[in-house]
Each structure stands twice: as structure tokens, then as C-alpha cells.
């Protein structure tokens, strides 16, 4: 946070990584602004992927939707079959330059981990839990919302965590199609041979990945305790 708020104060740290008198700190855009834009894209893409993936998993674990599981799994795998650059190349002619092609890539890449963990969480519930809910007079919708999803929440959160970490790295290439992300700093460094810029963008993305990963693991542990499951850390 100190670096993002006052990057100039760290000039001396990055100066040895420059050459020919190049600027040690990226100043073409605010690093804090780029970081917030980066996080906003990741949040939007992951939210859309979560809604779609959880919805698909719920639909295919209901009796009427079991036969659609192979199709749903194929849909969730679509994003993993194309490299992010290929997704951008295919979507730019449709949506133009800007954040939308990056959002499409983040959405597609986030589907699979969330879908698979949600599917596992819903299918591995103890039959006794469903039977107890039915014995209490719950409808299928009430059982899903009050029993199944809360018990599956730790696994769902683990899928979202994986999706977020993947999205943080994937979003950097969005700058190649004019999306405002930390990839702008990295690409500028690569084009000018300025290692300081590359390191600045990479370190911020890495720090965000570590912090968000730890944050989600904490949420998983809390959800696991409430669901009576062992947490990922214990």
C-alpha cells in the first residue's frame, strides 16, 4: 500500500534496475489507479463466472438435470481450451478494444475451477443431511439454500479462490487490447527494456495474489467450521 500510494519514495530501490537514465518509477498512469482497475476487472469477471458456474452445478445436480452434466462440463471447459491471447483475438473484432475482451477471457477462465468444486461440494454431501432436511418438511429449494449450499460453501470458496488467482495473472494481458490493468506497466517495461517497470507490475500482481489467496483461505476456514468440516489449513 505504501508503494502504491507513494511510488516515488521507492525510486532509489528501483534505480539500479534501469539503464541510460530511464525513469525508475512508472509515471504514465497512477499505479494505484491501475491496481484498482485491475482488481475491478478481476472482480467482475470472477463474479460472472461464479454465478454461471454455480448455477450450472446446481442445475446438473438436480434429478431433472443429471443428463446434462457432460454438456455443462464441456461448457465449463471451454475457457481452458483457448489461450487467453486467442480469446482476446477472437473477441476484439466483436467488442472492440477496451475492457470487455478481457472480461470475456476472465469469465471463461474462471468457469472450470468454480464449477468443479461446486459440483464436488454438492455431490459429496452426506445423504443424512438431505434426509434430515426432507424430514423437517423443507422443500427442494429450501433444502438447497439452507442445507446443501451452506455445507458446500467451503469447496465453492476454494474454487473462487483459484479463479481469482488465475484471473489476477490473466488480466495483465488485457493491456494488449487497451484494458487499463497492471499489465500496462509490465508491457511498457518490456518495450523499453526497463526492468524496473516489469518488476513493479509483477510484484504488485504477485502481492495481490498472495493477499487474496490468504483472504479466501481464511473465509474457507470460517465456512468449514460453520459447516462442521475440516478446514484446508487443518
**DSSP sequence for 26-51:** --SS-HHHHHHHHHHHHHHHHHHHHH
How far is it, in rounded angstroms, from Cα 144 to Cα 121?
12
pTM equals: 0.90
pLDDT single digits (tens) 127-170:
777 778 778 878 888 888 888 899 999 999 999 999 999 999 99
- Name the DSSP class of 194: -
pLDDT score of 108: 93
CATH 1.10.3720.10 fits 26-227, yes or no: yes
pLDDT single digits (tens) 180-195:
999 999 999 999 889 9
Closest C-alpha to 6, from 29, 30, 22, 37: 30
Side-chain-side CA neighbours of 41 within 13 Å: the count stands at: 30
- Name the DSSP class of 125: S
Low-confidence ranges of the chain (pLDDT < 70): 229-234
> Residue 29 has which C-alpha cell?
498512469
Which residue do the cell numbers 423437517 mark?
136
> Residue 210 has which C-alpha cell?
498472495
Closest C-alpha to 116, from 76, 65, 170: 76
> Residues 34, 181: contact at Cβ < 8 Å?
yes
Amino acid at each position: 500500500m505504501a508503494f502504491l500510494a507513494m511510488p516515488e519514495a521507492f525510486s532509489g530501490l528501483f534505480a539500479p534496475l534501469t539503464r541510460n537514465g530511464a525513469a525508475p518509477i512508472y509515471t504514465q498512469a497512477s499505479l494505484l489507479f491501475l491496481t484498482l482497475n485491475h482488481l475491478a476487472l478481476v472482480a467482475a469477471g470472477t463474479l460472472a463466472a461464479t454465478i454461471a458456474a454455480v448455477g450450472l452445478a446446481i442445475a446438473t445436480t438436480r434429478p431433472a438435470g443429471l443428463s446434462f452434466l457432460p454438456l455443462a462440463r464441456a461448457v465449463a471447459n471451454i475457457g481452458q481450451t483457448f489461450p487467453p491471447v486467442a480469446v482476446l483475438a477472437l473477441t476484439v473484432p466483436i467488442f472492440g478494444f477496451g475492457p470487455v475482451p478481457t472480461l470475456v477471457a476472465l469469465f471463461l477462465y474462471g468457469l472450470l475451477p468454480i464449477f468443479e468444486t461446486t459440483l464436488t461440494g454438492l455431490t459429496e454431501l452426506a445423504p443424512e443431511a438431505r434426509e434430515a432436511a426432507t424430514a423437517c418438511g423443507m422443500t427442494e429449494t429450501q433444502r438447497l439454500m439452507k442445507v446443501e449450499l451452506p455445507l458446500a460453501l467451503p469447496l465453492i470458496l476454494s474454487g473462487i479462490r483459484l479463479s481469482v488467482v488465475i484471473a489476477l495473472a490473466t488480466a495483465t494481458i488485457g493491456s494488449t487490447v487497451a484494458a487499463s490493468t497492471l499489465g500496462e506497466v509490465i508491457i511498457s517495461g518490456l518495450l523499453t527494456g526497463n526492468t524496473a517497470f516489469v518488476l513493479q507490475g509483477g510484484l504488485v500482481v504477485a502481492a495481490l495474489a498472495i493477499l487474496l489467496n490468504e483472504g479466501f483461505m481464511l473465509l474457507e476456514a470460517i465456512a468449514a467450521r460453520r459447516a462442521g468440516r475440516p478446514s484446508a489449513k487443518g
